[in-house]
Chain A
């Protein structure tokens, strides 16, 4: 099982759609979880941390299920500017382990 596994994508959705990304991780000792976004040929940027209770930031909602070792990201009312690759990130120790990313394209 890969350390961090994501939906392969790509996801192509119209503006205004709701889209959900899934991620699973193999190390049950992992303590911290994040979603980063990466635009083409740019550095990863933190989108949001993922907390056990779930958390929301505007149109973005992240959920964590420790028992299933599963993380999700929901984007509501998607915008053209949401087009990017979304990276699931897990920290089994002090370093970050990245998933391969799921590419999202939002079309007019």
Chain B
């Protein structure tokens, strides 16, 4: 069964450093998403991406964040100048369509720890 993969599974970084979280969506999917979940809290939408551009973003997704699809398979989330409060699980998801009637498939997540 096709699945979304994410690397690394755990990333530890120092405050102020830049990190890049990587995702490989399901191959025939066209819509890509990033979510985050701070420990013990709810899953929060960050950004959706389609046709090589951001289609929606939340208030969390400020200038510190950027997304990119550098090639035909990877989808990345870059966090510049990380802060302690960026520590969270980051989930990538993909879907074959949009509008909410298409299931979003989640990757296993990358746990980011900012020290």
Contact surface of A with B, Cβ cutoff 8 Å: 31-32, 38, 41-46, 49, 87, 91, 93-101
Contact = CB atoms under 8 A, between A and B. Distances in A.
Interface in B91-107: 91, 98-101, 103-104, 106-107
Contacts, number: 54
Nearest to B45: A95
A32 to B, nearest CB: 3
Nearest to A90: B100
Interface string B11-49: 000000000000000000001010100000111110010
Query: For chain A, what secondary structure do more than half of its interface residues adopt (helix, strand, loop), or is it mixed?
Result: loop
The 5 closest A-B pairs by CB, nearest first: A32-B100, A91-B100, A43-B106, A98-B43, A100-B42
B56 A44 contact: no
Interface in B47-98: 48, 55-56, 58, 89, 91, 98
Interface of B: 31, 33, 35, 41-45, 48, 55-56, 58, 89, 91, 98-101, 103-104, 106-109
A43 B107 contact: yes
Contacts of B103: 46, 49
A49 B56 CA distance: 22
Nearest to B109: A43
Given A44-B43, A44-B91, A94 B106 contact: no
